[in-house]
Structure 1
């Protein structure tokens, strides 16, 4: 839920980068909320078969259009692509699939022209041999040293 709220805080921010986790959690919660609103629309008679969407679902979709577009653009920036690639969804048949491939790709490591990598950098790990040596070379605790601590 935090990732969904994080996207809403950046309601119309089209600059910068968004990691996969942020994008896909937003998409998941968007889908779940849309389904729930569809159920409510049907239960209260707000759903119109001609429109294919209910009143609450339509309002939600309109409210979420800008944040959805913004997080998609930031996600493309994370793969070092321009936000204009979102227009691929207008290409019949293949456009959505190509865009999906772009959206599931991992971040480009380090900084790119859209900003720094949103992933936290992993802490450097000690080489195995050094970690093993440190483990066995440190002094053993004796009963006397444990009492004085």
Structure 2
């Protein structure tokens, strides 16, 4: 659900990158919403047919699809950017036999580290959450590795928590990733 909300917050932002999880969470939630809209439209049509009235047929589904058209294009373009490809490949979506290529591209791992479209969106390293690729803290390097070497001061911990908060606010970290990194920072601060 976090990926869906991040994509909707960046409703028409075609710049930057989107991770696989953001794209696929957005897609999964959108499919559920469309399915629910179809059920509602079916119930409305059935009710109208029982009353011998003509129903507006599928209006809820049409509204849902229209409301999600632009964010869907934007998250797809950002996902293509994450794999270091041009966003214009989104037009493959409109060519039925070729659109399977786009599905394959959406499944590929993003470029590790920054690329021409921006920083790594979730800073994933080898499938595990790390601080590699995250913007550095005030000291010039990510704080979590510093904390492992030398005990952090109270100021270091506060600076790290503020940095993580900014990353979450900017959409570079999901709520779950923020909680994991916050917990690590606090655990390391307590250990010193």
TM tier, shorter chain? 0.7 to 0.9
Residue 81 of structure 1: aligned partner:
85
Q: Tell me, yes or no, if structure 1 residue 61 matches structure 2 residue 85.
A: no
Name 1:100's counterpart in structure 2: 103
Matches within 5 A, 1:1-149: 1-45=1-45, 54-93=58-97, 95-121=98-124, 122=130
Structure 2 unpaired stretches of 5+: 47-56, 125-129, 133-192
| TM-aligned CA distance change 1:92 to 1:30, over 3 Å | closer
* Cα offset, 1:87, TM superposition: 1.1
Distance 1:5 1:89 in 2: 23
Secondary structure of the residue aligned to 1:60 is helix
- Bigger Rg, structure 1 or 2: 1
Counterpart position of 2:176: none
1:118 CA drift (Å)? 0.8
Q: How far 1:92 moved relative to its partner?
A: 3.8
Q: CA deviation at 1:73?
A: 0.2
Q: TM-score, normalised by structure 2?
A: 0.58
Residue 45 of structure 2: SS of its match in structure 1? coil
Q: CA-atom RMSD, angstroms?
A: 1.8
Q: Runs of 5+ in structure 1 lacking a partner?
A: 47-52, 125-149
Looking at structure 2, the residues matched to 56 and 92 of structure 1 have their Cα atoms a distance apart, in angstroms, of: 25
TM-score by length of 1: 0.74
